[in-house]
């Protein structure tokens, strides 16, 4: 079974737009878990325009109480790492986001960024926090993630989502299939995320051994369209079938 980790950022964005705790991020996350999600993801960016560093503590407590994992994503700036060290989530996914970046749009260059990432990954390991690196599917250096000290990689799936249903879909899918195998052959666990949704997830999870998918934007939009219970039930069914 693949773990479904719901990214709560868009709920935090709605909350911040009104200046008070509505919608309640913790309550929404709890409802997702009630309806079948197996984990929660939070990606506090450096400007905290949606998820805030304080949300890491709140959702960490929720996940611990529920016996599920919190995955904290972000660029490993000092203040981000301080939050991770204080709260010790089950997993920390390092993402190469610029401070003003709208959304994640590329993975790490595992050769160029090696000297930067290696000590960060060592710190996470020393604290017992599982680490994951956000990577592109066509990166031929995925084995280096293991050498740098990462436990997993998260495949950036926007290219798959963008081409899903097109004439190029199968070629792109085969590229992701090959990437997952390269990572697994190197001893890495494989996660995935970005623009996965109810339409394209089942095909993606035909890739063997995907451990976790992190889905946020699509889940929130689909919940608005169809209701939380219907949407989370469908996601859970897809993930349990894999």
Task: Please state, in angstroms and rounded to a whole number, the distance separating the CA atoms of residues 61 and 47.
Answer: 23
pLDDT at 105: 66
For the chain, list the domains and their CATH numbers: 3-237 (3.20.20.70)
141: left (phi over 0), alpha (psi -120 to 50) or beta: alpha
Active site residue 158: no
Active site residue 73: yes
Give the torsion through C-alpha atoms of 180, 9, 1, 194, to 10 deg: -30
Catalytic residue among 43, 50, 154, 212: 43
Active site residue 106: no
Task: Please state, in angstroms and rounded to a whole number, the distance separating the CA atoms of residues 210 and 3.
Answer: 9
Question: Do you find a cis peptide bond into 23, omega within 30 degrees of 0?
Answer: yes
142 contacts: CB under 8 Å, gap ≥ 6: 110, 135, 153, 179, 182, 183, 186, 188
Residue of 179, 133, 135, 138 lying closest to 152 (CA atoms): 133
Catalytic residue among 69, 73, 154, 222: 73
pLDDT at 104: 67
Q: Is 152 helix (H, G, I), strand (E, B) or coil?
A: strand
Catalytic residue among 69, 194, 212, 222: 194
pLDDT at 21: 92
| pTM for this predicted structure | 0.96
Low-confidence ranges of the chain (pLDDT < 70): 99-105
């Amino acid at each position: 079974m693949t773990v479904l980790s719901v990214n709560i950022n868009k709920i935090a964005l709605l909350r911040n737009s009104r200046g008070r705790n509505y919608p309640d991020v913790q309550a929404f996350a709890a409802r997702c878990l009630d309806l079948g999600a197996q984990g929660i993801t939070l990606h506090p960016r450096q400007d905290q325009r949606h998820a805030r560093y304080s949300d890491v503590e709140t959702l960490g407590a929720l996940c611990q109480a529920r016996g599920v994992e919190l995955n904290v994503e972000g660029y490993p700036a000092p203040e981000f790492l301080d939050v991770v060290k204080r709260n010790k989530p089950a997993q920390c996914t390092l993402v190469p986001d610029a401070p003003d970046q709208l959304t994640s749009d590329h993975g790490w260059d595992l050769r160029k960024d090696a000297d930067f990432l290696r000590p960060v990954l060592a710190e996470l390991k020393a604290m017992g926090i599982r680490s994951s690196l956000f990577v592109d599917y066509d990166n031929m250096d995925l084995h280096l993630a293991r050498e740098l000290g990462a436990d997993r990689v998260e495949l950036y799936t926007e290219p798959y989502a963008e081409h899903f249903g097109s004439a190029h879909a199968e070629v792109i899918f085969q590229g992701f299939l090959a990437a997952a195998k390269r990572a697994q052959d190197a001893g890495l666990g494989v996660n995935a995320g970005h623009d996965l949704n109810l339409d394209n997830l089942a095909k993606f999870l035909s890739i063997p051994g995907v451990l976790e998918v992190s889905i946020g934007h699509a889940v929130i939009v689909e919940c608005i369209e169809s209701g939380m219970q219907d949407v989370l039930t469908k996601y859970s069914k897809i993930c349990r079938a894999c």
